Amino acid sequence: MFSELLNNLIEDTLGHGLWYFSAELCLSGTIVAMLLMRLLSVDRLLPTFIVALIGAAAAGGCSFGQFADLIAAHDTMSVSFFGGMLRQDLFSVFFRVFLSLFLILTIALTVLTGIPDNEDAPDFYSMLFGATIGMMLMASANNLLMLFLGVEMASVPSYVMVGFLKGRKASSEASLKYVVYGAGAAGVMLYGISLVAGVLGTGDITLLADRLRIVAEGGNAGLGDPEVRTVALGVMLVMVGLAFKLSLVPFHFWCPDAFEGASAEVAGFLSVASKAGAFGLLVRFCVGLSGVPETAELMTAFGVGLGVIAIITTTYGNLAAYTQKNLKRLLAYSTIAHAGYMLMAVAAMLVMLNSDQAPGLGKAINYSIGGLLYYLAVYLFMNLGAFAVIALVRNYTFNEDIDSFKGLISQSPALCITMLVCIFSLIGIPPFGGFFAKLMIFASVYQAAQIHWAMYVVLAAGAINTIFSLFYYVRILKAMFLEERPADVKPVPLPAMEGYYVVVLAVMVALLGFLPQLVNGLSSIANEAGHAVLLVIGG
């Protein structure tokens, strides 16, 4: 019997598991190659970033191959592999493509800004790749163990990257804060996982809802039942771990400090990629708990609770950004606020998924996850664009305060226009991509509001927060476009390549809003991915 199991496992792995895991394997291989190169001093002949770029491109190619397979097959599939540890569907593939693309863009940015130098490059890229693998694992996790592993795998290299500017005290301090805070959150999460897995007797995320029904013994699962109560506590503790990764209030304290201490490139990477992976994981976790009538009431309350956290997070992030003078710190608060917007989509999904009208709402539920994915895709370009501009300006002025941006339009219009496009998109001004992303999320919150009134409050809070956010974003633009350049600030002459890089990002942000084919194509793929992640319910 054991050998049969083993045989099945081998067949499974060699049959398709390795192909599904190829992107992660490429990244792992690249890490090994980079470290070996340093050992053999090859990195003096061949710059490390080239190897890194090749590795990232290979991972992207594999991901895209899987993506093309799925699209070409035209059928929606969702299979677990590696003994049920990971899950392959359009959702996880979407994240692989997304993360590989982002990895390539980040490497390109680091090459342009010159952080890290050639000496440190293998270390830095190894950390970057390791974190990316962790994020990919998060998006395809099918087991509570993989959930924890993914989060940790993404977190640990991030700690190092935040402290990568070894000479700077602020950087080391930020890294330390991040580590300790992360360790605390991880401990809480691990405790939650053990509670959930212990009571329910499985680690398989897709089985959680079913087991919960059994535990509740046919009745309506409520907190009155001690076992259900235990599971609820466990779920909440897991949520704390995820909330740390998503920097949701009140688990956001690390975020401004870490972003301020880290270099802008790392901050950009963390704000987008780590958030994307965590959202993928959150969606999988929430879907795994949903779809069973007995737990519906509890899960709806959970969804509304997420909505409330989303409101608090968005409002806090936006208001706290007002008084910031350091741009990275300001964008850290902006990141917190955006996490709140995206959490609204998850809340809407939970409310709709667990209502008694769920079978009729299939499209709307897909749409809510699709909206989240679209938001992430647009967020990639607009946030990376903003951080890239900060990094490029920093290289000349050695300063990341808003004051150093004053009157920049007279010296490098390309950077200013990019910043303008990115910020308009971050605010959600049509016709840039951010507007449509926000619109999709608000639309699904509105759909959910038809089911639970509380979502109307969420919608209103989201709308009001959009206005709040206007003020501090526009302050940056005002400094860049309207104010005089102070005489003592160093000039920013922009070399061509860096200009092209940011302009490409800005163009993408604009195209994601202007170009109907792109908007429709991406949102329909996002919706399909949303559909794919839901296949585990009742299947």
Partner 1 sequence: MVGETLKFWLMIAWLLPLAGFVVEIFFGFYSKNPRHSKAAAWCAVGCIGIGFLCSANALRIWGNANEWCVLEAAEHGDPGDTQADAGHHETDSAEHQTAYSGVIYTLGVFGSLEVTLDYYIDSLTLVMFTMVTLIATCIHVFAIGYMSDELTDEYVDHSAHTSDGGHVHRPGRFYRFFAFMSLFCFAMLGLVLAGNIFQVFIFWELVGICSFLLIGFYTERKTASDAANKAFIMNRIGDFGFLIGLMVLWTFFGTFRFGDTVVDEQVVDQGLFSMVHRDGTGNVARDEVTGDVLITDTHGHVLTNEDGSNRQIPYYLLVVIGLGIFAGCVGKSAQFPLQTWLPDAMEGPTPVSALVHSATMVAAGVYLAGRFFPMFVQEVLLTIAYTGCITLFLAATIAMVATDIKKVLAYSTISQLGYMMLGIGVFGWAAGLFHLITHAFFKSLMFLCSGSVIYGCHHEQEMPKMGGLLWKMPITAFTMLVGVCAISGFWLPFGLHFSGFHSKDAIVASALAFIHANPAHFMLFLIPLLTAGITAFYMFRMWFYTFVGKPRDQHVHDHAHESPWVMTVPLLILAAFAWFCAYGGESGHLYLMLTGDEPSHLAADVTAATAGGINLPGHAAIHAVHDDAGRWALIAALSGALIAYVLYGTNVVNVEEIKRQLGGVHGFLANKWYFDDLYDALFMKPAHKVAAFCAWFDGAVFDRILHGAAKSMIVVSKWDRVFDETVVDGFVNLIASATQSVGASLRVVQTGRLRQYVMFIVLGVVALFAVMFTTFPG
151 is an interface residue for partner 1 by CB under 8 A: no
Which token pair is 228? Answer: 């259900």
Output the 3-class SS for 416-435. Answer: HHHHHHHHHHHHCCCCCHHH
- Displacement of CA 256 from its chain's centroid (Å): 17
223 is an interface residue for partner 1 by CB under 8 A: yes
If DSSP codes are grouped into helix, strand and coil, which group holds residue 117? Answer: coil
**Contact window for partner 1 (CB under 8 A) among 33-41, 73-81, 248-256, 386-394:** 248-256
When binding is defined by CB under 8 A, the residue of 323, 410, 520, 524 that contacts partner 1 is: 323
Q: How many helices (H) and strands (E) does the chain have?
A: 21, 2
**In this structure, is the dihedral angle defined by the CA atoms of residues 61, 64, 66 and 72, taken in order, positive or negative?**
negative
**Contact window for partner 1 (CB under 8 A) among 26-34, 112-120, 146-154, 225-233:** 225-233
231 is an interface residue for partner 1 by CB under 8 A: no
d(CA 44, CA 23): 27
Measured N-to-C along each axis, helices 121-140 and 22-39 cross at an angle, to the nearest 10 degrees, of: 160
Q: How far is the CB of 334 from partner 1 (least distance, A)?
A: 15
When binding is defined by CB under 8 A, the residue of 61, 65, 184, 413 that contacts partner 1 is: 184
Number of residues that bind partner 1 (CB under 8 A): 35
Q: How far is the CB of 356 from partner 1 (least distance, A)?
A: 15
- Torsion of the alpha carbons at 4, 9, 11 and 15, rounded to the nearest 10: 160
Q: How far is the CB of 297 from partner 1 (least distance, A)?
A: 5
- Torsion of the alpha carbons at 123, 35, 150 and 365, rounded to the nearest 10: 80
- For the chain, how far is it from start to end, CA to CA, in angstroms? 27
**Do residues 423 and 502 touch, judged by C-beta distance below 8 A?**
no
By beta-carbon proximity to partner 1, the closer residue of 233 and 511 is 233
**Contact window for partner 1 (CB under 8 A) among 13-21, 209-217, 246-254, 394-402:** 246-254
Q: How far is the CB of 442 from partner 1 (least distance, A)?
A: 22
**In this structure, is the dihedral angle defined by the CA atoms of residues 299, 305, 311 and 313, taken in order, positive or negative?**
negative
11 is an interface residue for partner 1 by CB under 8 A: no
When binding is defined by CB under 8 A, the residue of 13, 28, 76, 172 that contacts partner 1 is: 172
Q: Within 10 Å of residue 12's Cβ, how many Cβ atoms?
A: 17
Q: Within 10 Å of residue 282's Cβ, how many Cβ atoms?
A: 23
33 is an interface residue for partner 1 by CB under 8 A: no
Q: How far is the CB of 315 from partner 1 (least distance, A)?
A: 10
**Do residues 344 and 307 touch, judged by C-beta distance below 8 A?**
yes
430 is an interface residue for partner 1 by CB under 8 A: no
Q: Where are the alpha helices (DSSP H) in 354-491?
A: 362-397, 413-427, 433-449, 454-481
Binding string, 266-305, against partner 1, x = CB under 8 A? -------------------------------xx--xx--x
d(CA 101, CA 258): 24
**Do residues 430 and 513 touch, judged by C-beta distance below 8 A?**
yes
By beta-carbon proximity to partner 1, the closer residue of 333 and 387 is 333
Of 457-516, binders to partner 1 (CB under 8 A) are 471
**Contact window for partner 1 (CB under 8 A) among 75-83, 237-245, 403-411, 508-516:** 237-245
70 is an interface residue for partner 1 by CB under 8 A: no
Residue type present at position 417: I
Of 300-319, binders to partner 1 (CB under 8 A) are 301-302, 305, 319
d(CA 303, CA 283): 12
Q: How far is the CB of 415 from partner 1 (least distance, A)?
A: 28
By beta-carbon proximity to partner 1, the closer residue of 306 and 525 is 306
236 is an interface residue for partner 1 by CB under 8 A: yes
Instruction: Give the residues lining the site for partner 1 (CB under 8 A).
Output: 169, 172-173, 176-177, 180-181, 184-185, 188, 222-224, 229, 232-233, 236-237, 239-240, 244, 250-251, 253-254, 297-298, 301-302, 305, 319-320, 322-323, 471
